Amino acid sequence: MSKIDNTLTSFIDIAADSDFSIHNLPYGIFSNAKDAADNNKRRAGVAIGEYVLDLAVLEAEGLLSLEGGPYFDQPTLNAFIDSGRDNWTQARSTIQTLLSSVSDTLRDNQDLQKKVLLKQADVTMHLPVHVPGFTDFYSSKEHATNVGTMFRDPNNALLPNWTEMPVGYNGRASTVIVSGTDVIRPSGQLKPNADDRPIFSACKRLDFELETAFVVGKGNSIGQPIAVDNASEHIFGMVLLNDWSARDIQKWEYVPLGPFNAKTFASEVSPWIVTMDALAPFKTACPIQEPKPLAYLNEKDSNNSYDIHLSVELLPENSDSATVVCETNFKHMYWSMAQQLTHHTITGCKVEVGDMMGSGTISGPTPDSYGSMLEIAWNATKPVTLKGGKTRSFIEDGDTVIMKGYSEKDGIRVGFGEVRGKVLPALNFDFNK
């Protein structure tokens, strides 16, 4: 486990509760107002305190030169990520040095600061990577148990394969969206009554799913699985993920092949990718896995998870303040990211740089740590009371869902910022046209 260097400080004034300390330095893609009409002006930045550090300018000034570059005057991070771990390490070290309180290169150059330090409030954030593929897992034992208890025999809540492998499905990369994108309520087939034919309707049970996702940093060749003890070398970083879910559409469609339209309309991610190097000091152990996984999933490193505090807030339209409806932790996840990636490739499946792989809903052991409204309101039988007296069993039009996450240790905080999405009413369909 990496140690935190408490002596490392920045010349930039950073609040103690900021997610974006000099120990973090997450990567994102941004543009400012004058660039909004030109997508080619989207470029890479790093979050530091209330600012975005413009990496494209640093690169052009010769202060961030990496082998094979330039990498940062581009609309996605894929080329930089694909350049490999040596460049990841060098970039992080160089950026930390430039931002440190003991380096005068940027600290004492006001003209350069004006060029490279932009207020986060003044920029627009974009999807940080081109996402070739999106996969969603189902790796929280508490969540899977809760769902199985609701809809199957409580004594056999987990299906037999659940404790043997990381269960997942391939989703739609085309609808991975960045935080701040409005989500239109989906419509589809519902079956309100067991004895009647289905109807076409707007989703009536729209839900959030509190997740994280990891970004693949190194691919593999088709037919060549990634070994579990090497899997960490293939992971660049993590984002927060709200994998929106249409529960009533899913209930009717998921047999026999699993989720489809209920999960294809929006998978919303935070704009900043927190690197695994930044998260290394917060490594911890996954829960005990019983039975012991098959050999290809058996990790040598027992510190195979991360202590990341996660929360969900719900803000109704025209409300003054949001209500925290969930607080949980990534460390509750039963299957690790390395196990997920290895299992995904064990048949020879090819993964690519920029692929995102969702954790699955992250629920803890107590009702206040459940990671979906399905669980929090227990399938609409226990509505949640919000500030101001409104109640919710599922997400209504006009509601904004806000997810946050951070790790903290020895006074050092490494955070993700937030993923925020507002729900708009369903579209009206005229099938006679």
Q: pLDDT tens, 48-85?
A: 999 999 999 999 999 999 999 999 999 999 999 999 99
Structural domains in the chain, sorted by start = 27-126 (2.30.30.230), 134-424 (3.90.850.10)
- Which pLDDT score is estimated for 392? 98
Return the residue matching tokens 């039975």: 291
pLDDT tens digits, one per residue of 213-263? 999 999 999 999 999 999 999 999 999 999 999 999 999 999 999 999 999
- Which pLDDT score is estimated for 33? 74
Residues acting as catalytic residues: 143
Banded pLDDT at 39 (limits 50, 70, 90):
low
Banded pLDDT at 210 (limits 50, 70, 90):
very high
Return the residue matching tokens 């974006």: 20
pLDDT tens digits, one per residue of 273-319? 999 999 999 999 999 999 999 999 999 999 999 999 999 999 999 99
Residue 110 and residue 183: Cα distance in Å, rounded?
Answer: 41
Q: Is the peptide bond before 75 cis (omega within 30 degrees of 0)?
A: no
Residue 100 and residue 79: Cα distance in Å, rounded?
Answer: 26
Distance of CA 306 to the CA centre of its chain: 14
- Which pLDDT score is estimated for 314? 98
- Which pLDDT score is estimated for 402? 98
Contacts of 181 (CB under 8 A, 6+ apart): 266, 268, 421
- Which pLDDT score is estimated for 5? 83
Strands of the sheet with 323-329, listed across from one edge: 183-184, 412-424, 400-409, 309-315, 323-329
Q: By the 8 A CB rule, do 383 and 377 touch? A: yes
Residue 275 and residue 88: Cα distance in Å, rounded?
Answer: 9
pLDDT tens digits, one per residue of 325-340? 999 999 999 999 999 9
Percent pLDDT > 90 in the chain is 93
Cα 204 to Cα 185, 322, 368, 426, 431: the distances in Å are 9, 22, 23, 10, 20
Does the structure show a pLDDT above 80 at 388?
yes
pTM of the model: 0.96
Q: Which of 53-57, 154-158, 393-397, 403-407 has the lowest mean pLDDT?
A: 154-158
User: Which whole number is the average pLDDT over 32-59?
Assistant: 86
Banded pLDDT at 35 (limits 50, 70, 90):
low
Q: By the 8 A CB rule, do 360 and 332 touch? A: no
- Which pLDDT score is estimated for 40? 54
Percent pLDDT > 70 in the chain is 98
Banded pLDDT at 3 (limits 50, 70, 90):
confident
Does the structure show a pLDDT above 90 at 432?
no
Structure-token pair, residue 421: 């999405």
User: Which whole number is the average pLDDT over 199-203?
Assistant: 97
Cα 432 to Cα 185, 199, 338, 429: the distances in Å are 22, 17, 50, 9
- Which pLDDT score is estimated for 36? 55
Does the structure show a pLDDT above 70 at 1?
no
Element (H, E) at 424: strand 412-424
Does the structure show a pLDDT above 60 at 374?
yes
Across the chain, what does the average pLDDT equal? 96
String of DSSP letters for 106-136: HHT-HHHHHHHEEEGGGEEEE-SS--S-EEE
- Which pLDDT score is estimated for 202? 98
